[in-house]
């Protein structure tokens, strides 16, 4: 009876591992492009802003067979594919351990939606595809401080944004002060000229 119970435990464990692996795979978007199947997402998920990550691409022929000799690059867009906030072109490097796997390192610095524009050649076929993060494709980038307690400290990106805003306000204040100084000087000069004209008269 114990052996039977142990056998059931092992079977359940294997099934659980398969389900878990399938769930992890669902965090990537899979798409057929001509005769190729592409599976695209983040290397590390969940994905947090300010953390080192990478664009991850798996390539295979329809029906099986990894494509190990693709030449691909990616441009990462912050937002949808119409966004103008884009990274430099990143080379997707082939894995030494997993045939058909390609990665390109990047640090997403803001929480939100990201789009991967992947171009190049795979198995003699041209690739020009956009993949956008969402609840049904792959992870949107999350704010790492969202669950902090008792205080939510700002991220490096948020600090940079605050400093930029403060610098803009400071520059505006300096400009206004300079304008006021010039206006005051002109007023004094006009007053001096007026007094001198009266004395001459």
Range of the domain at 116: 25-132
Question: Does 45 reside within a domain?
Answer: yes
Residue 187 binned pLDDT confidence (cut-offs 50, 70, 90): confident
Q: Tell me what the mean pLDDT of segment 146-155 comes to.
A: 62
Residues 79 and 175 in one domain: no
Element (H, E) at 156: helix 156-200
- Weakest mean pLDDT among 2-11, 37-46, 103-112, 121-130: 2-11
How many domains, the chain?
Answer: 2
**Has this prediction a pTM greater than 0.85?**
no
Question: Does 119 reside within a domain?
Answer: yes
Residues 70 and 117 in one domain: yes
Question: Does 5 reside within a domain?
Answer: no
pLDDT at position 176: 72
In order, the DSSP letters of 25-83 are HTTSEEEEETTEEEEEEESSSS-BTTS-EEEEEEEEETTS-B----EEEEEEEESSTT-
Residues 92 and 184 in one domain: no
Question: Does 20 reside within a domain?
Answer: no
The pLDDT tens digits of the residues spanning 93-146 come to 999 999 999 999 999 999 999 999 999 999 899 999 999 999 999 999 999 987
């Amino acid at each position: 009876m114990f052996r039977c119970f142990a056998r059931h435990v092992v079977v359940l464990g294997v099934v659980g591992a398969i389900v878990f692996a399938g769930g992890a795979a669902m965090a990537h978007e899979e798409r057929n492009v001509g005769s190729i199947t592409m599976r695209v997402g983040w290397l590390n998920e969940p994905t947090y802003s300010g953390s080192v990550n990478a664009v991850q691409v798996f390539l295979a022929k329809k029906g099986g067979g990894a494509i190990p000799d693709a030449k691909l690059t990616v441009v990462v867009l912050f937002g949808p594919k119409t966004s103008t906030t884009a990274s430099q072109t990143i080379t997707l490097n082939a894995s030494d351990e997993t045939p058909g796997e390609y990665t390109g390192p990047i640090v997403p610095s803001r929480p939100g939606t990201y789009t991967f524009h992947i171009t190049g050649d795979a198995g003699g076929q041209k690739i020009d595809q956009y993949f956008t993060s969402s609840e049904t494709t792959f992870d949107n980038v999350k704010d790492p401080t969202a669950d902090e307690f008792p205080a939510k400290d700002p991220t490096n990106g948020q600090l940079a944004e605050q400093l930029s805003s403060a610098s803009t306000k400071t520059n505006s204040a300096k400009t206004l002060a300079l304008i006021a100084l010039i206006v005051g000087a002109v007023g004094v000069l006009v007053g001096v000229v007026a007094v001198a004209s009266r004395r001459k008269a």
